[in-house]
Structure formats: structure tokens, C-alpha cells
């Protein structure tokens, strides 16, 4: 079989969730199957850490990131294919990106969120005018666009991409290994994410206040950083790749509240996949792909209002047997559709077709 030389331009290093789960977790499998990878993250872990700590963006870090990306990208011709997470240069017009890099190579784009709305729905008229069609333009010139859900697929198709394939965001079952339940008594509502997405928790603050007034109910937030939830005592844990599975295993239910807005409709429901992989029931807002992942009453509940959130969480608090039944159904779904073991062979096939077809 012909060896594939692949240049991978990710947005972040392993601390960036999208880069880690959409691309980096596939690296061992691709290496084992004859793909010669050159990994080239744009932004460093230092950059991500500063953002999460609200230290802002260092001009030096941003300058070095763009310089490093340009240096790495201009050598793309020595590879058979370039896999690009979202875009080569954020906030740079499509014509310049194509002139510097994309006209020289055959490339595949990968999207796990609606990054195009950062441009076409920007509050600045100038940004909308200059960058509003950027993502559509580079999609048109790609060999393949890989997306995480149907919302993104529809955009890519309407943009004129010659080929669009949907590959969900998944977990590696070799890491999400179920263990005997050793959690303490009481009912734990859990959430995992980043400081950038922790704002969604405030959507259900009234529900959390009501539920957590019961001493047997607690809230655990993993990776949220400091967050204001007046009236709710939350245990905030630092996220770590080594501990994320054990943290989720300590939950009784995993939650994913989400606003129903264009940017959020492009999200890929990765939290839900993580919860289900740990055999935990879920409660989620019926937004975007959430409504496809969550089978209401089968592996969790969809909740569109405060009353629905309260009813679903109360029901799960009262019925341990139902929690276990829903959790097992969620795990089966992950094993069937949302795991690396299913999607990795498909990604390899897509990359080979894009490079050599």
C-alpha cells in the first residue's frame, strides 16, 4: 500500500480540545497504518493556558504562532496531502491564505464547530464584508471537507465543497474503560468542559439552586475554572487528560445546557459522548446535534425549559435503576457509533482517497 505523507495543521496543541479529539487522538492509528505524519500546531499550550486564566493574548505569542505557521505551511508541497483544522490562518482573508499556501497543495479541511459564524455573524460590518465568505471559499477549493454534524455538512454543501463527509467527534474506548461504581452516596450533577464554555452552566442556575438546596445533591464542574453561581456550592476540579474519565465516573448524571443560537448549533456534543462512554445518563438542551445523540427517555433527556430541566434531574435523582438503564444505553450507542474504534478506519480511508484518488 502506498505510504501517505500527511502534513497536519491543527489550531492548537493537545490542550486544545478540538485539536486533541478531532485529530491528535487519531495519530497512533494513522502511524500504524502507513501514514507518515508531520504535526504542526499553530498555537502553543502556553497560549491556551493564558486564555483559560483570562490573561489575554500576548502579541509575542500570536506573532510567533503566525510566523511558525507560515514557515511550516509553505513546505506543504513535499507532502501528499495537508489536513487542516478549520483554516490555515485565523482572521486572514481567503485570497491571502490561498496565495500563501492553499494554491500549492491538495488539502482536507476538518470542522467541529461553526467557525464561519465568527466571521459572517460578526458585529463588525468590515469583518463580515472581508471575512464573511472566507470559510466557504476555502471549502470550495478543498479535496474534501470533514465535519462533525449535519449543520456543518449543510453549510459546506451550500458553500460548494466538492465532497463533504460527516465524521462525529468521538472517544477512545481504550481510555474510557468502565470500572466498578465506587462513588459516594448522594446525587452528583456533573459537567466537563473549558472556561470558554462554562458560561452555559449559568443557563440552568435556578434549577441548580433548587436541587442543590438538598444536602444529598451536589454539583461538580471539571475544567470550568472560576465561575459565578450565586446560591450554588460547586466543587470545581482542574481538568486533566489523565483524570477526566475518573472525574466523569464520579457523576450520577452529565449535563449539557446550550443556547439555541447559530454558533451553538454547530457544536458536536462531545460532552454527551464522554458522559455516555462512562455509562452515565445525560440531560441536554435540544440544540443541534444534541437532538441526534440524545434519544429522549432511552439514554437521557432533552430539556428545553427550566421546568423540563428540573423534572429530568429530579427524576434521575429519585430513580437509580433508571439512571443505570439510561447509562447502559448511552454506552452502547458510543460503542456503535461514537468511538475511535469505529471512526479511525473511516478517516484513514477518506484521507487516502483525498490524496490519491
Whether 155 and 247 share a structural domain = no
What's the mean pLDDT in 77-98?
A: 94
Residues 6+ apart with CB under 8 A from 332: none
> Is 123 within the bounds of a domain?
yes
Model confidence band, residue 74 (pLDDT cutoffs 50, 70, 90): confident
Cβ-based neighbour number of residue 23 at 10 Å:
26
Backbone CA torsion sign across 339, 340, 344, 347? positive
pLDDT at 75 over 90: no
Whether 159 and 33 share a structural domain = yes
44-63: per-residue pLDDT in tens?
A: 888 888 777 776 677 888 89
Whether 22 and 155 share a structural domain = yes
Whether 25 and 91 share a structural domain = yes
Whether 132 and 276 share a structural domain = no
Whether 14 and 160 share a structural domain = yes
CATH number at residue 89: 3.40.50.2000
Domain count, the chain: 2
Which pLDDT score, from 0 to 100, does residue 198 have?
94
The secondary element (H helix, E strand) that includes residue 51 is helix 45-52
What is the dihedral angle through the alpha carbons of 74, 75, 80, 86, rounded to the nearest 10 degrees? Answer: -40
pTM above 0.75, yes or no: yes
Identify whether the C-beta of residue 128 lies closer than 8 Å to the C-beta of residue 284. Answer: no
- Domain span at residue 238 reads 187-337
262-300: per-residue pLDDT in tens?
A: 999 999 999 999 999 999 999 999 999 999 999 999 999
Amino acid at each position: 500500500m502506498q505510504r501517505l505523507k500527511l502534513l497536519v495543521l491543527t489550531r492548537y496543541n493537545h490542550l486544545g480540545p478540538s485539536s486533541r479529539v478531532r485529530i491528535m487522538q487519531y495519530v497512533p492509528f494513522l502511524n500504524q497504518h502507513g501514514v507518515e505524519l508531520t504535526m504542526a500546531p499553530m498555537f502553543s499550550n502556553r497560549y491556551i493556558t493564558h486564555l483559560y486564566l483570562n490573561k489575554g493574548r500576548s502579541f509575542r505569542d500570536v506573532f510567533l504562532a503566525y510566523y511558525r505557521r507560515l514557515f511550516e505551511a509553505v513546505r506543504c508541497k513535499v507532502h501528499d496531502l495537508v489536513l487542516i483544522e478549520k483554516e490555515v490562518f485565523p482572521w486572514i482573508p481567503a485570497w491571502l491564505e490561498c496565495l500563501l499556501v492553499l494554491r500549492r497543495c491538495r488539502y482536507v479541511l476538518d470542522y467541529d464547530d461553526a467557525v464561519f459564524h465568527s466571521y459572517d455573524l460578526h458585529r463588525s460590518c468590515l469583518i463580515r464584508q472581508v471575512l464573511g465568505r472566507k470559510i466557504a471559499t476555502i471549502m470550495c477549493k478543498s479535496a474534501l471537507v470533514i465535519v462533525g454534524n449535519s449543520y456543518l455538512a449543510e453549510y459546506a454543501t451550500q458553500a460548494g465543497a466538492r465532497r463533504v463527509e460527516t465524521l462525529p467527534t468521538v472517544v477512545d474506548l481504550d481510555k474510557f474503560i468502565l470500572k466498578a461504581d465506587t462513588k459516594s452516596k448522594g446525587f452528583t450533577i456533573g459537567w466537563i468542559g473549558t472556561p470558554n464554555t462554562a458560561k452555559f452552566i449559568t443557563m440552568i442556575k435556578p434549577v441548580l439552586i433548587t436541587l442543590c438546596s438538598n444536602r444529598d445533591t451536589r454539583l461538580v464542574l471539571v475544567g470550568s475554572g472560576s465561575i459565578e453561581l450565586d446560591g450554588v456550592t460547586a466543587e470545581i476540579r482542574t481538568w486533566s487528560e489523565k483524570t477526566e474519565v475518573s472525574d466523569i465516573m464520579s457523576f450520577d448524571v452529565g449535563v449539557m445546557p446550550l443556547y439555541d443560537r447559530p454558533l451553538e448549533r454547530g457544536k458536536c456534543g462531545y460532552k454527551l459522548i464522554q458522559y455516555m462512554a462512562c455509562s452515565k445518563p445525560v440531560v441536554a438542551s435540544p440544540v443541534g446535534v444534541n437532538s441526534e445523540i440524545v434519544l429522549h427517555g432511552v439514554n437521557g433527556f432533552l430539556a428545553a425549559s427550566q421546568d423540563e430541566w428540573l423534572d429530568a434531574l429530579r427524576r434521575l435523582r429519585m430513580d437509580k435503576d433508571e439512571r443505570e438503564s439510561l447509562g447502559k444505553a448511552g454506552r452502547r450507542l458510543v460503542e456503535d457509533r461514537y468511538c475511535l474504534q469505529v471512526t479511525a478506519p473511516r478517516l484513514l480511508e477518506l484521507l487516502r482517497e483525498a490524496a490519491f484518488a
